Amino acid sequence: MRVRFAPSPTGFLHIGGLRTALYNYLLARKHGGVFILRIEDTDRSRFVPEAEQDILDCLAWAGLEFDQGPEKEGDCGPYHQSKRSTLYEAAADTLVESGNAYIAFDTAEEIEVMRERHRTQDNPSPRYDLITRSEMSNSLTLSAQEVERRVGSGEPHVVRLLVQPGKSVQFDDFVRGTVTFESDTVDDQILVKSDGLPTYHLANIVDDHEMGITHVIRGEEWLPSTPKHILLYEALGWTAPRMAHLPLILSPTGGKLSKRNAEKQGIPVTVRQYRDAGYEPQAVVNFLAMLGWNPGDERELFSLEELVEAFSLERVGQAGVQFDLQKLSWYNQNYLRGRSSADIAGQMHPRITEQFGECSLESVVAAIDLMKERMVYAHDILEAAFLFERPLAYDEKSVKKKWKEDSGDLLKSFTRVLESTQHWTSDGLESALQSAIAELDIGVGQLMFPVRLALSGQPSGPGLYDMMVYFGRAETLFRLNDAAQRLP
Ligand code: GLU
């Protein structure tokens, strides 16, 4: 099995592109195959210089290592289409010589005039095909000398595929089963553009053939191109790879998850946005794996290795799949919990010191221990400012509602109990609080609430006793006294 991920460097890697790369990767690993990264950079008008680095960074971030590709030479390089022109030229020449393609000189205006002439209600966008090609300037209608003269004088021209009418084009798709297209619905596709560069269709099939690709796995949006590819393979006398077209990714409100409607709903579209927003790569990978594939049972959490084991094209569905950002958060929370506090602390320590000033790595580990169950993203810890600095203010609504006239005095009485508490542990502190409320003859909430507010400034948060252990005796006493003084 040899598979490839073949992105065009026209922008930052799309989240759907990462899913395509993932499915290719999983199959290659599962079957001990080869996973190739090929950069399809023949469309110079849409070329974005930073895009290739972004593709490499995002694949590395997701942990999808390719076997061959840019800077990883293998048996079928180079891996940029821009460096493979001679192969495309040779294929185009073969196609013209064998009568499967022809040279056409028509300008864009001439093609538009032809379309105008043939346009009817039933045929709003006439093709360049059997019917129309006989009216145009091409090597089928012009004499050989005339064609030679025009080419020789540098007249712009393209190479088109000669599509024979009345043919049924068939291929088996792993996801869709047998797919049939009538050749009458396929136009004489341009294979080489007037700038001499191949179009996607020609370059794609030449490379898939030359690179020995056995399985083409790509998004459903490429399905309409496949009949052209099949015709090209036939014309060149090559065997087509097997095909799998992955289901469309749909927006939560229906319709394709286009850049525009994703942005409207606050759904990031590029992989780097997910990375920069602090998503765990394993969460994104696991989430994308389930976006079109299912394991056939109830399992939802899979490491990359487990995915390799479980994945198969047979379980990829045909129906479009809805993108659910909440599900991704759920995955993120799961993977975050799976990381050690020390690991998360190591990641967040620089940002914490930047935001709140110097603090030890150990204290950040302890803070993460305290907060982990409540965190969805690693950076959620930055929102728990009270762990790293004293509360600047106390939540106004809670003060209004629950801070009573005697709250300050109760806090002060509690500090006296705490001064002599022997075991500064969660259990020890719980008994200290219990004995204080018994002594003061008050309800639990009357003391617990002001303590929480004094420590964190917030009405809710981590366990109260764990929080006191985290702060230690001196800081706890300071915050309780401080609140008693500052609040009315
Ligand atoms: N270059 C195409 C893309 O940008 C590749 C499609 C294919 O896999 O054939 O997605």
DSSP track, 301-370: ---HHHHHHH--GGGB-SS-EE--HHHHHHHHHHHHHHS-HHHHHHHHHHHHHHHH----HHHHHHHHHH
Among protein residues, the one with the nearest Cα to ligand 1's atom 10 is 7
Helix 444-456, helix 464-486: angle, nearest 10 = 80
User: What's the gap in Å between 379 CA and the centre of ligand 1?
Assistant: 35
Average per-residue pLDDT in the chain?
96
Question: Residue 6: CB within 6 Å of ligand 1?
Answer: yes
Q: For the purposes of burial, counting CB atoms within 10 Å of the CB of 195, is it exposed (0-12), middle (13-18) or buried (19 or more)?
A: exposed
Supply the pLDDT for residue 169: 93
User: Do residues 222 and 245 make contact, with C-beta atoms less than 8 angstroms apart?
Assistant: yes
Model confidence pLDDT, tens digit, residues 279-303 = 999 999 999 999 999 999 999 999 9
Q: Which two tokens stand for residue 265?
A: 């709903």
* Res 258 pLDDT > 90: no
DSSP-assigned beta bridge partners for residue 179: 171
Q: Which two tokens stand for residue 70?
A: 């840019």
Phi/psi for 58 (5° steps) reads: -70, -40
Question: Residue 20: CB within 6 Å of ligand 1?
Answer: no
Question: Residue 41: CB within 6 Å of ligand 1?
Answer: no
* Res 19 pLDDT > 90: yes
Among protein residues, the one with the nearest Cα to ligand 1's atom 2 is 7
Q: Which CATH superfamily is domain 259-337 in?
A: Glutamyl-trna Synthetase; Domain 2 (1.10.1160.10)
User: What's the gap in Å between 304 CA and the centre of ligand 1?
Assistant: 24
Mutation test residue for ligand 1: of 27, 40, 217, 248, the one with most atoms within 8 Å of CB: 40
User: Do residues 212 and 185 make contact, with C-beta atoms less than 8 angstroms apart?
Assistant: no
Cα–Cα dist 374/333, whole Å: 9
Question: Residue 29: CB within 6 Å of ligand 1?
Answer: no
Cα–Cα dist 214/139, whole Å: 35
Pairing mode, strands 101-104 and 242-246: unpaired
Which listed CATH number (1.10.260.40, 3.40.50.620, 3.30.70.580, 3.50.50.60) goes with 2-70+204-250? 3.40.50.620
Model confidence pLDDT, tens digit, residues 387-409 = 999 999 999 999 999 999 999 99
User: Do residues 311 and 293 make contact, with C-beta atoms less than 8 angstroms apart?
Assistant: yes
Q: Which two tokens stand for residue 226?
A: 């496949």
Question: Residue 138: CB within 6 Å of ligand 1?
Answer: no
User: What's the gap in Å between 81 CA and the centre of ligand 1?
Assistant: 12
Q: Which residues are catalytic?
A: 259
Over residues 31-41, the mean pLDDT reads 98
Q: How confident is the model at residue 431 (pLDDT cuts 50, 70, 90)?
A: very high
Q: How confident is the model at residue 35 (pLDDT cuts 50, 70, 90)?
A: very high
User: What's the gap in Å between 212 CA and the centre of ligand 1?
Assistant: 16
H/E stretch holding 244: strand 242-246
Specify the fold of 396-486: Arc Repressor Mutant, subunit A (1.10.10)
| Highest CATH level, class, for 85-192 | alpha beta
Cα–Cα dist 85/44, whole Å: 14
Tell me if residue 282 falls in helix, strand or coil: helix
Supply the pLDDT for residue 488: 84
* Res 323 pLDDT > 90: yes
103 C-beta neighbours (distance < 10 Å), count: 21
CB-hemisphere CA count at 13 Å for 454?
32
Mutation test residue for ligand 1: of 200, 217, 228, 230, the one with most atoms within 8 Å of CB: 200
Cα–Cα dist 361/387, whole Å: 13
CA dihedral 254, 260, 263, 269 (to 10 degrees): 90
Atom of ligand 1 nearest to the CA of 200: 1
Supply the pLDDT for residue 124: 92
Cα–Cα dist 118/111, whole Å: 11
User: What's the gap in Å between 184 CA and the centre of ligand 1?
Assistant: 24
Model confidence pLDDT, tens digit, residues 304-314 = 999 999 999 99
Phi/psi for 5 (5° steps) reads: -110, 125
Q: Which residues contact 423 (CB under 8 A, 6 or more apart)?
A: 429
Cα–Cα dist 207/238, whole Å: 12
DSSP-assigned beta bridge partners for residue 101: 161
